[in-house]
Amino acid sequence: MKQELEVLEELDHPHVVRVIELLESPSQYFIVMEYLSDGNLLDFLNEAASNGVRFTERHVANMIH
């Protein structure tokens, strides 16, 4: 898991949340991440679904792309 987090820390992409810093204690990892003021894609999809909006698999795939 530590290696995966270190890779994310080095990643700089406009469509991927940024990992700013990784901290660790003997038993835990702490991940400091970019703040997403509008929530994330899952929040958006859940809110839309609760309002009766239905997405096709293709539509969601295009949003993720």
pLDDT the model gives residue 25: 93
pLDDT the model gives residue 63: 76
Q: Which residues in the chain land under pLDDT 70?
A: none
Instruction: Please name the amino acid found at residue 45.
Output: L
pTM: 0.56
User: How far is the CA of 33 from the CAs of 5, 51, 64, in angstroms?
Assistant: 11, 29, 20
pLDDT the model gives residue 59: 85
Domains within the chain, CATH numbers bracketed: 2-64 (3.30.200)
Note the helical H segments in 1-65: 2-10, 41-50, 57-64
Calpha distance 26→21 (Å, rounded): 17
